[in-house]
Amino acid sequence: MAEHAPFEVRAECYAGYRGEQEPRRFFLGERQVQVLEILDRWLAPDHRYFKVRGDDRATYILRHDTDRDRWEMTHFSRI
């Protein structure tokens, strides 16, 4: 398991019937990662978190700063 300091990513999202954004794909620099599955999600007072499995079979935790509409990757692991 590798831990990294949070860094900004660009995310493309889907807004469901309630209008809540879910990441469908995100970009690490030029590399695109398709979200295959949302494994978990939780709310904090000023962020929304998503634990996702990417098409590269790695697991990521993405954090959405709702006030600034900014996405960050806070965790990465590849098993």
pTM comes to 0.84
Q: Any idea how long the chain is?
A: 79
The pLDDT assigned to 7 comes to 78
- In tens, the pLDDT along 25-38 reads 999 989 999 999 99
Average pLDDT estimate for 2-10: 71
pLDDT tens digit sequence for 10-20: 999 987 665 56
Q: What's the CA gap between 20 and 45, in Å, rounded?
A: 15
